[in-house]
Amino acid sequence: MVTINQDLYSRGGIKVAQPKKSRTNVDIYGKSYTIIGEESTSHIRHVTNLVDEKMREIHDVNQSLDTTKLAVLTAVNTMNDYIKLKEEIEVLQSLLEEKED
Amino acid sequence: MVTINQDLYSRGGIKVAQPKKSRTNVDIYGKSYTIIGEESTSHIRHVTNLVDEKMREIHDVNQSLDTTKLAVLTAVNTMNDYIKLKEEIEVLQSLLEEKED
């Protein structure tokens, strides 16, 4: 999980062995974020650039939306794409299983 | 694409034949949205419930974030999951191609 400004692993004062994490400063739709994650800095920049692009795309067709609604709608669209891919994966997996029989 | 409060297909005054669209009123993190899309109302509710849950999860570990940052971070996390699935699909597709050879 990509997180921000806080280390999920050190919650509640419990210290556990943790994978090495990167801290990446990015700008998304004009605001600064520090993203902390196990992913590489270049991966995080790739992900956040896609979110920034998607927010701008949605803004272009919904110019009256405030930034919060724009961000929520970006999350909704991305979740929709995610679920579609999940369905696609299920189809591919059953095709593979058929081939293996 | 799921959209909100506006019909993407009627941009710029050009009218084209369009699939039947549903309008679904949902609440996400305490705000109301009208989601317009080709997807069924139940699919849209499923997607928006997942976004709402994810926002609450991230809020639980980052209680100081304002709603905009929370929504952006939700989009970032979902995009990260999406990209990982995309990579998984590529692996499955090449496995399938190998089997077909």
| pLDDT digit string, tens, across residues B23-65 | 999 999 999 999 988 899 999 999 999 999 999 999 999 899 9
Q: How far apart are CA B101 and CA B97, in angstroms?
A: 6
Q: Which residues of chain A have a CB within 8 Å of the CB of B79?
A: 47, 50-51, 54, 78
Asked if residue A6 lies in contact with residue B70, where contact means CB atoms within 8 angstroms, the answer is no
Residue of A97 and B49 predicted with greater confidence: B49
**H-state helical runs in A1-101:** 41-61, 67-100
Are B33 and A69 a contacting pair at CB < 8 A? yes
Q: How far apart are CA A42 and CA A19, in angstroms?
A: 17
**Radius of gyration for chain B, computed over Cα atoms and rounded to the nearest angstrom:** 18
pLDDT of residue A93: 92
Are B76 and A48 a contacting pair at CB < 8 A? yes
Binned at pLDDT 50, 70 and 90, residue B19 comes out as low
pLDDT of residue B21: 84
Asked if residue A77 lies in contact with residue B37, where contact means CB atoms within 8 angstroms, the answer is no
Q: Which residues of chain B have a CB within 8 Å of the CB of A99?
A: 96, 99-100
Tokens at B42, concatenated: 């139940």
In sequence order, what are the residues at sequence separation of 6 or more whose Cβ sits closer than 8 angstroms to the Cβ of residue A73?
A58, A62, A65, B2, B3, B4, B33
Q: Are strands A31-37 and A3-4 parallel, antiparallel or unpaired?
A: antiparallel
Name the pTM for this structure. Answer: 0.80
pLDDT of residue B8: 38
Which of A29, A83, A5 lies closest to B72, judged by CA?
Answer: A29
- Amino acid found at B88: E
Are A69 and B4 a contacting pair at CB < 8 A? yes
Q: How far apart are CA A19 and CA A39, in angstroms?
A: 10
Phi, psi of A28, deg, nearest 5: -125, 120
Angle at which helices B67-100 and A41-61 cross, to 10°: 110
Q: In the sheet that B31-37 helps form, which strands lie side by side, from edge to edge?
A: B3-4, B31-37, B22-28
Check whether B67 has a pLDDT greater than 50.
Answer: yes
Per-residue pLDDT tens digits for A5-63? 433 333 444 455 556 788 999 999 999 999 988 899 999 999 999 999 999 999 999 89
Tokens at B48, concatenated: 């928006």
pLDDT of residue A56: 96
